[in-house]
Amino acid sequence: MPERALDGLRVVDISQGIAGPYATKLLADAGALVTKVEPVAGDYSRRLGPFPGDNPDPANSGLYHHLNTSKRSITLDVSVASGQVVLKKLLANADVFVAGEKTSTLKSWGLGYDDLDSDFPHLVVAQVSPFGATGPYADYDGNSLTAMAMSTIMYNTGEPDREPLATGGEPGEYIAGVQLWIGILAALENRAKHGAGDHVDVAMSDAVACADEYNSAMYGFQGAIRRRYYSRHIFGYPNDIMACADGHVVVIPGAGGFRSPLTPDVVSPMALLLEDPELDNNPVFTGAGERMIRWREFEDLVKPYLSTHNAMEIVMTAQALRLPFAFVPTAADLLSDEHLAERQHFEHVATPGGDLTIPGQPFKMSETPLRASAAPSRGGANEQVLAGELGYSKDDLRILSDRGVI
């Protein structure tokens, strides 16, 4: 078997849902041995679906299968003392412990950082929670929506007269997962240099705030407070999704799309695209401030072209003119996309409900490519881990099982 980037790294993960499991998926697909510790009822992403034919079945949740590739699963009730004893045996041989609970919950289980640090000084204890381990909201609950709300991104998304809009797909969870993964790798690097484990505390709210492109900066450098205006960039209009004959495209003129004072005699790429050189003489077309304010008039200028051309033709023509237009694919479009197919982006895993195509790796490494193998069945590694590695006898396992601990 070829070498993997994180061969030899041992991770114990009691987190559920999206953020923590996505972080450990990125470790597992890179070769780390991730032992997923599920509650006896299973990770709650198993209950979220989607499910084949809309028939709820915890073994077949699409979300679960996407987020838990390349891991092994044991079931363990870590909220009771006998479960905590088993977990601590696992931690004795682990490099990283990942939890998705609030600090107060972890402490009540004897699994807070202070509890673990003395017994396991080399362990990286990584925690992802809605509002972090410290601070005034540490005991508050949350999800992607609350994180998007606090981050300023939501306030600036949507129509001016309607409610602010959250971005689809629970991005706050994924952003937090990626920031957790970065924190774990940084702590491991620190351990390699300086010998000690550490506490990695990621708040979902903070992770999404790190992805604020410029809303806080506009106040901190200008005193300007942005608000949502059809999700428009403050840098200028259009940089937006517009309707075309067969769907939508993203109209982006980029740095060189409109007539520049430096090249007054050259027909602009945007005018070329719209097949009307006269547009370069129209202030609504050429003036950045005018476009932003008189955007309805600008829309009238581009509509005749957009509404009579297909997305494919518009984007290909625009890109040939070096205008960074883009497509607006749906999930179905992505699965049949030629570009992604040629890059072999998607991965395919076997699930009890049949083969499933899942999102591929977010980057390609030349020597140690990340690879996904199918997500584990609930408790599939109970015997291997508890009997094989931790030395529990068959009787022990039966007792733990009878008591609902595994």
Partner 1 sequence: MSQLPLEGIRIIDFAQVFAGPACTRILADLGADVIRFESPNRLDVTRNLIITDNDGMDHTWHRASYFVIRNASKREMVVDLAKEEAREIIRKLAATADVVVESFTPRVMANFGLHYEALKEIKPDIIMCSLSGYGQNGPMRDYAGYGMGLEPASGVASITGYKDGPPMRSGLSFTDPYSGFLGAGAILTAIQYRRRTGKGQYIDLSEQEAAIPIMGAALAEYQMTGRVKERIGDRSDWAAPQGCYRCAGDDRWAVISCSDDAEFGRMAGAMGHGEWKEDPRFATVLARRQNHDTLDELITAWTSARDHYDVMHTLQCAGVKAGAVLDGKEILFDPHFKARGQFDVVDQPLLGKRLIPRHVAAKFGRFEAKARSHAPLLGEHNAEVLTELGYSAEEITKLQEDGAIADKPNLPVPPAFIGVALRLPYDRYVEHGILQAVEPDYREQLGIAD
State which of positions 29-48 bind partner 1 (CB under 8 A): 30, 48
Structure tokens at 144: 């992607």
Q: Which residues of 165-195 are buried (b: 16+ CB within 10 A; e: fewer)?
A: bbeeebbbbbbbbbbbbbbbbebbeebeeee
Work out whether 395 is an interface residue with partner 1 (CB under 8 A): no
> What pairing do the DSSP bridges indicate for beta strands 33-38 and 354-358?
unpaired
- CB nearer to partner 1: pick between 234 and 387: 234
94: its two tokens = 């682990």
Centre a 10 Å sphere on the Cβ of residue 48 and count the other Cβ atoms it contains. Answer: 17
CB 49 within 8 A of CB 65: no
Answer for which of 104, 222, 281, 308 binds partner 1 (CB under 8 A) is 222
Residue whose CB is less far from partner 1, 211 or 274: 211
Rounded CA-CA distance 62/55 in Å is 12
- E strand or H helix at 34, and its extent? strand 33-38
Q: Which of 62, 276, 305, 317 binds partner 1 (CB under 8 A)?
A: 62
Spell out, one character per residue from 228 to 267, where the chain touches partner 1: x when CB under 8 A holds, - when not: xxxxxxxx---xxx-x----x-x-x-xx-----xx-----
Cβ closest to partner 1, residue 238 vs residue 379: 238
Q: Which stretch binds partner 1 (CB under 8 A): 101-109, 210-218, 375-383, 389-397?
A: 210-218
Query: Shortest distance, CB of residue 384 to partner 1, whole angstroms?
Result: 25
Q: State the nearest-atom distance from the C-beta of 351 to partner 1, in Å.
A: 10
Task: Report whether 200 contacts 116 (CB < 8 A).
Answer: no
Question: Burial code of 213-242, b = ≥16 C-beta within 10 A, e = fewer?
Answer: ebbeebeeeeeeebebeeebbbeebbbbeb
> Could you say whether residue 227 binds partner 1 (CB under 8 A)?
yes
**Distance between CA atoms of residues 161 and 228, nearest Å:** 9
The distance of closest approach from Cβ of residue 64 to partner 1 in the complex, given in angstroms and rounded to an integer, is 9
Among 41, 81, 92, 217, binds partner 1 (CB under 8 A): 217
Q: How far is the CB of 110 from partner 1 (least distance, A)?
A: 18
**Does residue 219 bind partner 1 (CB under 8 A)?**
yes
Contact range with partner 1 by CB under 8 A, out of 81-89, 104-112, 167-175, 301-309? 167-175
> Residue length, the chain?
406
- # chain residues binding partner 1, by CB under 8 A: 166
Q: Choose one: 59-67, 78-86, 276-284, 383-391; the region binding partner 1 (CB under 8 A).
A: 59-67
- Applying the rule CB under 8 A, the residues between 313 and 342 that interact with partner 1 are 319, 322-335, 338-340, 342
Specify the residue, 80 or 320, whose C-beta has the smaller distance to partner 1: 320
Q: How many CB atoms lie within 10 A of CB 319?
A: 12
Could you tell me the two tokens for 274?
Answer: 């719209």
**Minimum distance between the CB of residue 243 and partner 1, rounded to whole angstroms?**
7
Run of H or E including 147: helix 144-150
Distance CA 305, CA 208 (A): 38
Q: Which helix (H) or strand (E) holds 78?
A: none
Six token digits for residue 372 = 């996904």
Going residue by residue from 84 to 103, which x/- string records binding to partner 1, judged by CB under 8 A? --------------------
State which of residues 11, 12, 19, 26 lies at the interface with partner 1 (CB under 8 A): 26
Do 59 and 353 meet the contact criterion of CB atoms below 8 Å apart?
yes
Query: How far is 317 from 234, CA to CA, in rounded Å?
Result: 26
Residue 377 in the binding site for partner 1 (CB under 8 A): no
Task: Determine if 209 is a binding residue for partner 1 (CB under 8 A).
Answer: yes
Closest to partner 1 by CB, 51 vs 285, is: 51
Any contact of residue 399 with partner 1 (CB under 8 A)? Answer: no
Query: Closer CB to partner 1, residue 368 or residue 401?
Result: 368
Distance in Å, CB of 146 to partner 1, minimum: 3
366 near partner 1, rule: CB under 8 A: yes
> Element (H or E) spanning 216, and its range?
helix 215-222
Whether residue 160 has a cis bond before it, omega within 30° of 0: no
Among 41, 104, 108, 189, binds partner 1 (CB under 8 A): 189
